[in-house]
Amino acid sequence: MKLFSENIEDLRTLYVTSLKKALDMEQKITKALPTMIEKSTDPRLATAFRNHLTETQGHVAKVQTLLREATGDASTGTCKAISALITEAEDNIKDAGDTSIRDITLIASAQQVEHHEIAVYGTLRTWAELLGQDGAANTLESILEEEKKADELLTTISDSVNTTAETRSSFATRA
Ligand SMILES: [Fe+2]
């Protein structure tokens, strides 16, 4: 995509606004993950969430650094999407009657969050490239890779958690 100088200023504004929303998103995820760790029954799931909490704290720090470099301060915007995803996750956890069903819903909710993050960072990385900010693009790419790996790990864990839930439900149906 070729950008003219007036477009570049608009893109820069959009980039900074979106970076501020990404910071809010990461901070909200940092607050939501401890409950997800606590509600996990499968030990691999709890460990995956615990490791991702550490990574997410790293994402907060990285995005704050990018914002300070771009604007001189690291104030947040408001990410409405993450608030809705977290509220939905909380509702689903409350509704889950069985521990394996709760694990399934935790994985489903976490993957929705990861997919949102993957979209956010893929976009931000591309915009940083268009703005000629290669250092920022590399940082955003490194966050993107961690989000993708977190999502892949959840898919792997879900294979066995889903089987457990399926076995339990077929026993319940037979009883
Ligand atoms: Fe993240």
- Identity of residue 139: T
Determine the distance separating the centroid of ligand 1 and the alpha carbon of 171, expressed in angstroms. 38
Structure tokens at 94: 């409350």
pLDDT, mean of residues 146-151: 98
Number of other CB atoms surrounding residue 164 within 10 Å: 17
Determine the distance separating the centroid of ligand 1 and the alpha carbon of 4, expressed in angstroms. 32
- pLDDT at residue 100, rounded to an integer: 87
Report yes or no: 150 and 114 within 8 Å, Cβ to Cβ.
yes
Determine the distance separating the centroid of ligand 1 and the alpha carbon of 43, expressed in angstroms. 21
Tens digit of pLDDT for each residue in 56-90? 999 999 999 999 999 999 999 999 999 999 999 99
Determine the distance separating the centroid of ligand 1 and the alpha carbon of 98, expressed in angstroms. 28
Determine the distance separating the centroid of ligand 1 and the alpha carbon of 144, expressed in angstroms. 8
Which residues, 6 or more positions from 54, have their beta carbon under 8 angstroms from its beta carbon?
none
Determine the distance separating the centroid of ligand 1 and the alpha carbon of 143, expressed in angstroms. 7
Which residues, 6 or more positions from 164, have their beta carbon under 8 angstroms from its beta carbon?
100, 103
Tens digit of pLDDT for each residue in 79-122? 999 999 999 999 999 888 888 899 999 999 999 999 999 999 99
